[in-house]
Amino acid sequence: MRPEPAAATPPLAPGLYVVATPIGNDADLSPRAHDVLSRADVVLAEDTRRAGLLFQRLGIERAVGEGGRKGFMSLHEHNEAGRIPQVMEMLAQGRSVALISDAGTPVLADPGYRLVRACRLSGLTVAPVPGPSAPAAALSACGLPPAPYTFFGFLPRQKGDLKRLLARHAATKATLVFFERKDRLAATLALAAQALGDREFAICRELTKHYEEFILGRLGALGAVPLDLLGEVTVVIGPEVLGGIPAEGASDDGENDGPDALNVDAVLAEEKTRGGKPREVARRVAERVPGLSVKEAYELLKRP
């Protein structure tokens, strides 16, 4: 008897698939993402050559189409507007399109938002294929309060724009997350210290890679932290929370607005080590402890 022919792989359902790819460790690609990237009619990529090399490493095989091409099409910040009508026409014809970025989850800090929005407004299917994400990886492992948080993506390059952005968020209680180039890291953190005060931060370097590293520090003591680093960097700046961890049982409902005694003692001890006249130390403590006046801080400093 002749063997039964292998069943053909069913076609991927029409729609735009937003697919997360590894940010450093290739083993983080999900089986679903592998399947979608193998079967999609077209793959939209920021850099098609880079995407091709990624697919080689991941063992993703794509059928060769017309002209020997494997269905890659570029989509980046300079051509996204022009690509939208083309992609929407393909989707309207019942084709499947996968969107990837150079690494991580597309759209969050990369091109693709305008395409996704246009598809939604036109009633076309958009399906997330979740997976690796640098902001999520950083928040999950840095030890700073994870929620609420604000993700900036890449920060403005102009100093004035950056100062205004940080100033707008100085009064929030959210953790701040952003990407930064290693050659701009020291200057950016110095500006953050001016705008936000002495908050805890984490430099999350080379996430999921062999040399992954988490460097913790305070914006008020940048000199104690190495900032001449190599590799890709995600920065997390914690909220204005003393000691890094809110006191157990503390709430934000206004019923417990007084300063926590344990945290006040920790701040007092830290500011004493920085030195200065008692009034100056008291002023610094009061700035860091919500609900504590300079006079109250001064009285605490006089305790035996």
Report the Cα 123 to chain-centroid distance in Å: 29
List the alpha helices (DSSP H) in the chain: 31-39, 48-58, 80-92, 113-121, 134-141, 159-168, 185-196, 261-274, 278-288, 294-301
pTM for the complete prediction?
0.75
152 CB contacts (<8 Å, ≥6 apart)? 165, 176, 177, 178, 179
291 CB contacts (<8 Å, ≥6 apart)? 257, 258, 259
Q: Helix (H, G, I), strand (E, B), or coil: what is residue 65? A: coil
Instruction: Decide whether 15-132 matches 135-237 in CATH topology.
Output: no
Give residue 242's pLDDT band: very low, low, confident or very high (50, 70, 90).
very low
The answer to whether 23 and 137 are in contact (CB under 8 A) is yes
Q: What CATH number belongs to 135-237?
A: 3.30.950.10
Q: Classify the C-alpha dihedral 129-102-211-57 as positive or negative.
A: positive
The answer on pLDDT for 255 being more than 50 is no
CA-CA distance, 184 to 179, in Å (whole number)?
A: 11
Chain mean pLDDT for the chain: 85
CA-CA distance, 234 to 249, in Å (whole number)?
A: 30
- Worst-scoring range by mean pLDDT, 42-51, 180-189, 194-203, 280-289? 280-289
CA-CA distance, 148 to 115, in Å (whole number)?
A: 27
The answer on pLDDT for 250 being more than 50 is no
CA-CA distance, 76 to 100, in Å (whole number)?
A: 10
CA-CA distance, 166 to 163, in Å (whole number)?
A: 5
Instruction: Tell the CATH topology of 15-132.
Output: Cobalt-precorrin-4 Transmethylase; domain 1 (3.40.1010)
* pLDDT tens for each residue of 18-69: 999 999 999 999 999 999 999 999 999 999 999 999 999 999 988 655 443 4
The answer to whether 175 and 144 are in contact (CB under 8 A) is yes
Whether the ω angle into residue 148 lies within 30 degrees of 0, i.e. cis, is yes
CA-CA distance, 283 to 217, in Å (whole number)?
A: 22
Q: Which of the two residues, 158 and 288, has the higher pLDDT score?
A: 158
- Per domain, the residue ranges of the chain are 15-132, 135-237, 261-301
CA-CA distance, 15 to 96, in Å (whole number)?
A: 5
* pLDDT tens for each residue of 141-192: 999 999 899 999 999 989 999 999 998 888 888 999 999 999 999 999 999 9
Do the strands 15-19 and 126-129 form a parallel or antiparallel pair, or are they unpaired? parallel
Q: What's the pLDDT score for residue 224?
A: 87
Q: Helix (H, G, I), strand (E, B), or coil: what is residue 107? A: coil
The answer to whether 172 and 197 are in contact (CB under 8 A) is no
